[in-house]
Structure 1
Amino acid sequence: MKRDYAVIGLGRFGGSICRELSMEGMEVLVIDNDEDKINEYKNIASHAVIADATDEASLKELGIKNIDHVIVAIGDNIQASILTTVILTDLGIKKITVKAQNDYHEKILNKIGADNVVHPERDMGKRIAHNIISNNILDYLELSDDHSIVEVKAGEKMVGKTLIDLDIRANYGCNVVAIKQGKDINVSPAAEDVLVEEDVLIVIGSDKDISRFEKNLVIED
């Protein structure tokens, strides 16, 4: 179902979200107090408006209450981010996602009604760090403070073995939830299937268990 989105703040993070949502055919309203940024995105977003997001009257006038999901991507101005989130909460917006600058900022956002708080720089740093550790670690996604999901390529220590042989759950406390083979994805991998080169395992578990799994099976000597 097509949904309406609003992105407040057109820095690198907000601009990237605007582009991706627009490419997916979504209706996107972008709001920023910088005329140059609005001009940059006026032909990308459905609507681009110069406005102060901390002004409740301005947001009401823009029809923000009719938006399904608002993303607050305000950069370094934590005060503006918090005030904007308070206003959106008071207006009864269905879903509010907010970019946090730090853990303290996140705590405040959670208390005042943000549905989802993201740390794009921190999370990207984690993903890159895991990829730097080994070329076999293809992607890393944090699910909570202490659980993650990781995509790993079957390396020398796994190729030619079955899931029974590796016994990843018993040995490392992680679960293999799917195996990607080229364009195909097997969401119910058989324990007897032999892993071949280029297979990609999607593994979920606690961060400490995933770390042990990566060190013992994924990172090659």
Structure 2
Amino acid sequence: MRKQFAVIGLGRFGSSVCHELNEMNHEVLAIDNDEQKVDKLSKHATQAIVADGTDEKMLKNIGIRNFDHVIIAIGEDIQASILCTLILKEMNIKQVWVKAQNDYHHKVLDKIGADKIFHPEHDMGQRIAEFLTSEKVIDYIDLSEDFSIIEIIATKKVIGKTLAEMDVRAKYGCTILAIKHSKGVNVTPNADETIKEGDLLVVIGHKNDLKRFQRDGI
């Protein structure tokens, strides 16, 4: 389903979000007060305009209230980010997602009602750390402070075993959500599913349990 997104702030993070949403064929409104950044993004958005994200009248005039999702990716100006968030929440935008610079910024955004708060540098640091410390982990998604999803390659230790024989939930407290193989993805696989060479396991669990599974279970 094609959705409507507005992205305010076209630095590296905001530009990347615009690129990806545009590639996914969603409608994207790109906004920044820097004309050069707007011109650069014009080919990667449905519409790109020069505007101040803290100017309430301007935001109303460009129809920001027509967008269900607004991503605030304003860079170093924490005050502008907070003010923009406050204005959008007062306009009753359904989903306001904001890039946070630090913990203090995060706390203020949470207090004024931001629906989702990003820490791109921190999140990417976690992903890189996972790759660096485990040759088995192919991908990593941080769900919360305590829980994650990992995509991990099946090793010789488990090839030929069924999920029942692995008994991951009982032994490690994790759940195998899916098995990715050459022919596609098997979502919610049965207990008698046999692990084959080259399979990737998509596993959800508490971070401590996932670490135990990576170390001892596969």
TM-score, structure 2 as length reference: 0.95
The corresponding residue for 2:143 is: 143
Contact 2:181–2:200 at 8 Å: present in 1 too? yes
In the alignment, the residues of structure 1 paired with residue 188 and residue 145 of structure 2 have an alpha-carbon distance, to the nearest angstrom, of 27
- Please state if 1:35 is matched with 2:35: yes
Q: Tell me which amino acid in the other structure corresponds to 1:58.
A: M
Contact 2:22–2:45 at 8 Å: present in 1 too? yes
In the alignment, the residues of structure 2 paired with residue 163 and residue 44 of structure 1 have an alpha-carbon distance, to the nearest angstrom, of 44
Structure 2 SS opposite 1:196: coil
Deviation of residue 2 (structure 1)?
A: 2.3
The corresponding residue for 1:14 is: 14
Structure 2 gaps of 5+ residues are: none
Q: Tell me which amino acid in the other structure corresponds to 2:203.
A: V
Could you tell me the percent identity over the aligned residues?
Answer: 53
In the alignment, the residues of structure 2 paired with residue 196 and residue 91 of structure 1 have an alpha-carbon distance, to the nearest angstrom, of 53
In the alignment, the residues of structure 1 paired with residue 3 and residue 195 of structure 2 have an alpha-carbon distance, to the nearest angstrom, of 41
In the alignment, the residues of structure 2 paired with residue 99 and residue 180 of structure 1 have an alpha-carbon distance, to the nearest angstrom, of 32
Structure 2 SS opposite 1:43: helix
Deviation of residue 93 (structure 1)?
A: 0.8
The corresponding residue for 1:201 is: 201
Deviation of residue 183 (structure 1)?
A: 4.1
Q: Which runs of 4+ in 1 moved over 4 A?
A: none
Q: Tell me which amino acid in the other structure corresponds to 2:171.
A: N
- Taking the TM superposition and a 5 Å limit, the aligned residue runs for 1:53-202 are 53-202=53-202
How many residue pairs end up in the alignment?
218
In the alignment, the residues of structure 1 paired with residue 88 and residue 79 of structure 2 have an alpha-carbon distance, to the nearest angstrom, of 14
TM-score, structure 1 as length reference: 0.94
In the alignment, the residues of structure 2 paired with residue 159 and residue 172 of structure 1 have an alpha-carbon distance, to the nearest angstrom, of 18
In the alignment, the residues of structure 1 paired with residue 76 and residue 157 of structure 2 have an alpha-carbon distance, to the nearest angstrom, of 45
Deviation of residue 15 (structure 1)?
A: 0.3
Contact 2:136–2:214 at 8 Å: present in 1 too? no
Q: Tell me which amino acid in the other structure corresponds to 1:30.
A: A
Contact 2:78–2:105 at 8 Å: present in 1 too? yes
